Amino acid sequence: MLDLARFPRLPLLTLPTPIEPLDGLGRALGDALNGVRLYAKRDDVAGIGLGGNKLRKLEFLLGAARAEGADTVVTVGALQSNHARLTAAAAARAGLACELFLTRSVPRQDPDYTGSGNRLLDDLFGATVHELPGDADSLAHAEARAADLRGAGRGVYVFPSGGSSPTGCLGYAACAAEIFSQSADMDVAFAQIVTANGSAGTHAGLAAGLAAMGRDPRLAKSYAVLAEEPRARAEVLEKANATLALIGAEARLTEADVNLDGAHRGPGYGIPTAGMLEAVRLMARTEGKLLDPVYSGKAFSGLLHDVRAGRYPAGSAVLFVMTGGTPGLFAYKEALAE
User: Does the domain spanning 54-163 belong to CATH 3.40.1160.10?
Assistant: no
CA–CA distance, 99 with 143 (Å, rounded to integer): 11
Mean pLDDT of all residues in 159-166: 97
Alpha carbon distance 54, 44 (integer Å): 10
Beta strands in the chain (DSSP E): 19-21, 37-41, 72-78, 97-104, 128-133, 156-158, 190-197, 220-224, 259-261, 317-321
Residue 285 confidence (pLDDT): 98
Every domain of the chain and the residues it spans: 19-52+165-337, 54-163
pLDDT, mean of residues 64-82 = 98
* Residue 57 predicted with pLDDT over 90: yes
Clarify whether 81 is annotated catalytic.
yes
**Catalytic choice (81, 116, 165, 296):** 81
Cα-Cα-Cα-Cα torsion 155, 6, 19, 329, nearest 10 degrees, comes to 10
- The answer to whether domain 19-52+165-337 and domain 54-163 are alike in fold is yes
Q: Is the pLDDT of residue 338 over 80?
A: no
- The confidence score (pLDDT) of residue 47 equals 87
User: pLDDT tens digits for 222-234?
Assistant: 999 999 999 999 9
Reported as a pLDDT band with limits 50, 70 and 90, residue 250 is very high
Rounded Cα–Cα distance for residues 50 and 328 (Å) = 11
Per-residue pLDDT at 1 exceeds 90:
no
pLDDT digits (tens, 9 = 90+) for 33-46: 999 999 999 999 97
Q: Binning pLDDT at 50, 70 and 90, where does residue 162 land?
A: very high
- Of 297, 294, 301, the closest CA to residue 328 belongs to 294
Which pLDDT does position 93 carry in this prediction?
A: 97
Confidence (pLDDT) at 240:
98
Q: What CA–CA distance (Å, rounded) separates 89 from 264? A: 30
pLDDT, averaged across the chain? 97
Task: Give the fold, CATH level 3, of 19-52+165-337.
Answer: Rossmann fold (3.40.50)
Closest to 199 (Cα-Cα) out of 170, 173, 224, 221: 224
Amino acid at residue number 97: A
> Closest by alpha carbon to 157, among 53, 52, 59, 67?
67
Best CA proximity match to 188, nearest among 24, 39, 15, 7: 39
Of all residues in the chain, the percent with pLDDT exceeding 90 is: 99
CA distances from 148 to 84, 141, 143, 144, 278 (A): 21, 11, 9, 6, 46
Which residues lie closer than 8 Å to 204 by C-beta, 6 or more apart?
164, 169, 172, 235, 236, 238, 239, 240, 243
In sequence order, what are the residues at sequence separation of 6 or more whose Cβ sits closer than 8 angstroms to the Cβ of residue 234? Answer: none
Confidence class of residue 146 from pLDDT cuts 50, 70 and 90?
very high
Percent pLDDT > 70 in the chain is 100
pLDDT digits (tens, 9 = 90+) for 74-127: 999 999 999 999 999 999 999 999 999 999 999 999 999 999 999 999 999 999
Whether residue 190 has pLDDT greater than 90: yes
Whole-model pTM?
0.97
